[in-house]
Amino acid sequence: MYADQFQIYSGNANPDLASKICLYLHTELGEAQVFKFANDNIFVRILENVREKDVFIVQPTCSPVNDAIMELLIMIDAFKRASAGRITAVVPYYAYGRSDKKDQPRVPITARLVADMISVAGADRILTMDLHQGQIQGFFNIPVDELTAVHILSNYFRHKHLEDLVVVTDLGFAKRARTFAELLDAPLAIIEKRRIGNLDRAELLNVIGEVRGKRAVIVDDEVDTAGTLVETVRALEREGVSEIYACATHGVLSRDAVHMIEDTSLLELVLTDTIPLPPEKRVPRITTLSIAPLIGEAIKRIHRGESVGALFSSEVEFTQEMLLWEDGVAKKLDTRLAPGHDDGPDDMVERGDPDREPDTDGGQDPDGGPRAGAGGEGPTDEPSGPNGDRPESWLRELREREVAER
């Protein structure tokens, strides 16, 4: 049986999210090096004892996808060989989700292959969010906990107080979109579409439902090239919709997706931070909500042996709790803020800011490994700083300012 302590680690895919999760849990990011040699081989070294510990590895398999997957597999193997008690792969975004079936002759089921590799590497459990298809859970021979951002996203739009609202989605996301619509007390309209071969676009065939004169919120699991989103916006314009918003859990935003979105009448695209948004894609029309509290709560429940499903037995209350955390804590502390920085932190509800300065070192130590803080023995008094740095004086000063403001 693993020890009472749990420790959270991160690869290079989304260290900011890992730091926010640690902030929510009042613990520090575990110390590990994850980097590439000159020959592109990935090297992982855990810098502290993890024997019999409950280990959580935060690593969405986002771009560069294959690097992220290999980092995850090698990290799992490293922890397994270091005698970790239990290893949970926290994969907020699961790549290759569309390759979930043989819909053409002589094609692979890559989503199953990735699941097999994660299991063989030595993971004991998977924690993920809004898989492209629910059957992907069945590809694993280990327990899978799938969270959803539907409640976080719907809560955001509920607080916008939009009248005459209609929720628009396609058949693939209809079940969760119905939950989204019920939370907003709005009707649901369906976009009938047909994907064209292996191209990253779809042909829209029909809009099923009454949308004329209403405000529409398009809901999906991810926005990739934005081709389908743009076509949906145009179809809704032809149907006489007055205002159009959109939201999705995963903001892949590949190729010219951001420019395509800006060329439409879409008023706002709301995403979560399962995938990091680079500075050039942070535009005013894109809003990012953090799922760190939701994942953090799930990690806490998994560690304690409590029900993860119970998170959704009182969805509204828990979402309100998370929003209070964002407004009260994360507004004061942006995990991208470097120690000693004089500017004020941003809110965890991040809006696009093309003028914002990115991290100059990419969140890495001079030796090539990602920065990371010391491992925690469960909850501690002080959360980790940016990318896992020890909080030190800059966090104490932040707390002193909070007290002074009161």
Q: Each residue of 327-366: pLDDT tens digit?
A: 555 554 443 333 333 333 333 455 444 344 444 444 445 4
Residue 281 in domain:
no
Please indicate, yes or no, if residue 258 is contained in any of the structural domains: yes
Q: Which residues contact 362 (CB under 8 A, 6 or more apart)?
A: none
Both 136 and 214 in a single domain? Answer: no
Name the domain boundary from 273, 299, 330.
273
Catalytic positions are 193
Shared-domain flag, residues 186 and 303: no
Domain boundary among 273, 306, 338: 273
- The verdict on 295 and 377 lying in the same domain is yes
Spatial distance between the Cα atoms of 97 and 72, rounded to a whole number of angstroms: 17
What digits encode the pLDDT tens for the residues 212-251?
999 999 999 999 999 989 999 999 999 999 999 999 999 9
Q: Give the torsion through C-alpha atoms of 320, 325, 326, 329, to 10 deg.
A: 160
Angle at 283 between CA 91 and CA 351, to 5 degrees: 65
3-state secondary structure of 103: coil
Rounded mean pLDDT of the chain? Answer: 82
Integer angstrom CA distances of residue 324 from 252, 319, 321, 383? 27, 9, 5, 17
Cite the DSSP H helix spans in 211-287: 227-238, 257-262
- Reported as type and span, the H/E element at residue 299 is helix 292-304
Return the CATH number at 74. Answer: 3.40.50.2020
Rounded distance between C-alpha atoms, residue 109 and residue 99, angstroms: 5
Q: Are residues 216 and 161 in the same domain?
A: yes
Q: Residues 125-138, buried b or exposed e (16+ Cβ, 10 A)?
A: bbbbbbbbeeebee
In which domain, by residue range, is 230 found? 151-273
Q: What's the number of domains the chain is made of?
A: 2
User: What does pTM read for this prediction?
Assistant: 0.80
Q: Are 267 and 238 in contact (CB under 8 A)?
A: no
**pLDDT for the residue 173:** 87
How does pLDDT run across 26-36, given as a tens digit for each residue? 999 999 999 99
Q: Determine how many CB atoms are found less than 10 A away from the CB of residue 266.
A: 23
For residues 193 and 317, membership in a common domain is answered with no
